Amino acid sequence: MAKGDLNGDGQEDLLIGASSGQPTTAFVKEGSRFLLREIEGLTGDKSIQEADLQIFDVDGDGDQDVIAAAGGYMAEDEKQYRHVLYRNEKGNFVKEELPLPPFSASVVRTFDFDKDGDLDVFIGCRVKKWNFPLSNNSYLLINNKGKFTLDEKFSFDLGMVTDANWSDYDGDGWQDLIITREWNSVMILKNEKSNSLNPISDPAMERKHGLWSCVIAGDFDQDGDDDYLLGNLGLNHRFTISEKYPMRVYSIDLDKNGYIDPVSTSYWKDEKGDMQEYPINYLDELAAQSPFFRKSFTSYTKFSFSTANQIINTDTISAKNTFYVNTTTSYVLWNDKGKFTWQELPVEAQVAPVKKLLVHDFNGDTFNDVLIAGNDHTYDVSTGNYDSNKGLILLGTGSKEFTTMPPSQSGLLLNGQVESLIHLKSDTLSYVIGGINRSKLQFIN
């Protein structure tokens, strides 16, 4: 979901990306209402899911163009994941493929990376088709007066990217790229005066591997630099996860057929009370993925008492094929001139996955506040739905602390799995719009 002036009338409209069985949809602002409208070349059915959208003026001609990143996991062939520019030609949108290889993307973020007056585009890769938890490269496309070019030095092996944010973390005048990743650490790519983007060395950041899902920037402590909120799984789950007992996923091809058969594990007590590493999934689930498990186990009882090492010989799996999580806490990263202090978000923010964040001054005190939304309904039956987050506001205080405003006080109520958040404001009205997976949009005035 993205906002921008699609028809050139000076008002921000709403564009909702295509998904499986659902077309790209535009709601055009007319007066105080948003009306469903067809836009030639832009709306309608698409052959692939649009994972993220950005509306901006690509070529400096005064109207708004659209970039759509292809994503999801429904395509049969990875070659279908083509990322496109819809160039606005006097109200008609003309589709152009971007100069990128096909891959399943997660995020599009624009910024004038090289300070030449136009917006460049970062597109992050979510996962490699048929090969979770591996991924393809992510890319930065350089905009040269409306034409995008790909330079191999701006091709990055980042892992499974979930979100990104342009922000000058060290105050050198150049916008850097903060990236969240799944089964990995948060990463900052430093902008070396547009010559390159290089990962910074930060041991504390590199140690914290999470199911990081989102990042947002804001000067929450009023010290002149951006701080960062980082969304994670939260603490309301059935797993024991720590540095001593990490949750892991092993990337292995058990059938030798060229496709990964991922095996996820966590720690539970065995019959003697000792902590042991066991598969998270049941035998039936694993057997549906690979016949290896049925050949190895004909008894549910034998499988249930077998450790991960006894099942797949984890000692022989290399570090590069082992991904892990040692924290599921959502954090605020306080920035002091490029040096970071990690602080856990309030307990109310830890009850469910934090998937989306929105910065806005909700109470009019001039301090940045944050709307936290999320939930996740994609886990297996034994884990269940994570759905305790109904929309929490963290009120900024101008110092290194937040106060919480629950839905009962704010009036915000975001039920379901929130996949996008947008704030729209006109002269008289202010909206928060939540995009809910498999449900209607929620407009909150």
CA–CA separation, 91 and 68 (whole Å): 17
Cα 61 to Cα 64, 163, 325, 338: the distances in Å are 8, 29, 46, 37
Say what the alpha-carbon torsion angle 331, 135, 174, 59 is, to the nearest 10 degrees: -120
Residue 199 CB burial class (10 angstroms; 0-12, 13-18, ≥19): middle
Residue 416 pLDDT more than 90?
yes
Secondary structure of 112-132 in HEC code, one letter for each residue? CCCCCCCCEEEEEEEECCCCC
Region 282-300: mean pLDDT is 94
The pLDDT of residue 404 is 96
Distant-in-sequence, close-in-space partners of 345: CB < 8 Å, separation ≥ 6: 229, 329, 330, 331, 332, 354, 372, 394, 402
Extract the tokens encoding 265.
Answer: 């594990």
pLDDT confidence of 445, banded at 50, 70, 90?
A: confident
How do residues 365-405 score in pLDDT, each as one tens digit? 999 999 999 999 999 888 999 999 999 999 999 999 999 99
The pLDDT of residue 44 is 94
The pLDDT of residue 314 is 96
Extract the tokens encoding 386.
Answer: 């994570």
What is the residue-averaged pLDDT of the chain? 96
Give the pairing type, strands 247-250 and 263-269.
Answer: antiparallel
How do residues 70-92 score in pLDDT, each as one tens digit? 999 989 899 999 999 999 999 99
How do residues 183-207 score in pLDDT, each as one tens digit? 999 999 999 999 999 999 999 999 9
Residue 20 pLDDT more than 80?
no
Q: What is the DSSP string of 230-281?
A: EE---S-SS-B-SSSS-EEEE---TTSSSS---EEEEEEE-TTS-EEEEESS
The pLDDT of residue 429 is 78
pLDDT confidence of 278, banded at 50, 70, 90?
A: very high
Residue 304 pLDDT more than 80?
yes
The pLDDT of residue 235 is 98
The pLDDT of residue 125 is 98
Question: pTM for the complete prediction?
Answer: 0.97
Region 103-117: mean pLDDT is 97
Contact between 41 and 93 (Cβ < 8 Å): yes
Percent of the chain residues past pLDDT 90, beyond the cut: 91
The pLDDT of residue 381 is 85
pLDDT confidence of 444, banded at 50, 70, 90?
A: confident
Region 220-240: mean pLDDT is 97
Rounded to a whole number of angstroms, the distance between the first and last alpha carbons of the chain is 18
The pLDDT of residue 23 is 95
Percent of the chain residues past pLDDT 70, beyond the cut: 100
